[in-house]
Homo-oligomer: A and B are copies of this chain.
Amino acid sequence: MGLLQNFRNNINQRNQGSASVAKERLQILVAHDRMGRDQPSYLKHLEREILEVIRKYVPVDEEAISVSYEQEGQQEILELNIILPDHGSRL
């Protein structure tokens, strides 16, 4: 599965680069192929709601979230990178 492999390879590379400051991290990518629809995007709403869901499980500081949003033609990609606090998991 190419997408998954690319994703894992990239994360592994990142981890190797920052091994000395190992942090628990959560990365979320959402890609929407809209196929020519001329309708408003809901990805920005998804972003907020996905963060709310994650906060049910782990505390997330606002400053620990980096968000990237890109649109290219009919494709939108939302990327969330979250550094989780130490010992933050509630489960």
Measuring CB to CB, which residues of chain A are less than 8 angstroms from any residue of chain B?
A: 1-4, 6-11, 13-15, 22-35, 37, 39-40, 42, 45-46, 49-50, 53-54, 56-58, 68, 70, 72, 75, 77, 79, 89, 91
Known pairs A45-B57, A46-B54, A79-B3; A11 contacts B28 (CB<8 A)? no
Check B26–A31 contact: CB distance below 8 A: yes
Bound state CA distance, A14 and B58, in angstroms?
34
Residue in B23, B35, B79 whose CB lies within 8 Å of A35: B23
Contacts of A46 in B (CB 8 A): 53-54, 57
Check B29–A7 contact: CB distance below 8 A: yes
Check A24–B29 contact: CB distance below 8 A: no
Contacts of A9 in B (CB 8 A): 6
Contacts of A2 in B (CB 8 A): 10, 13
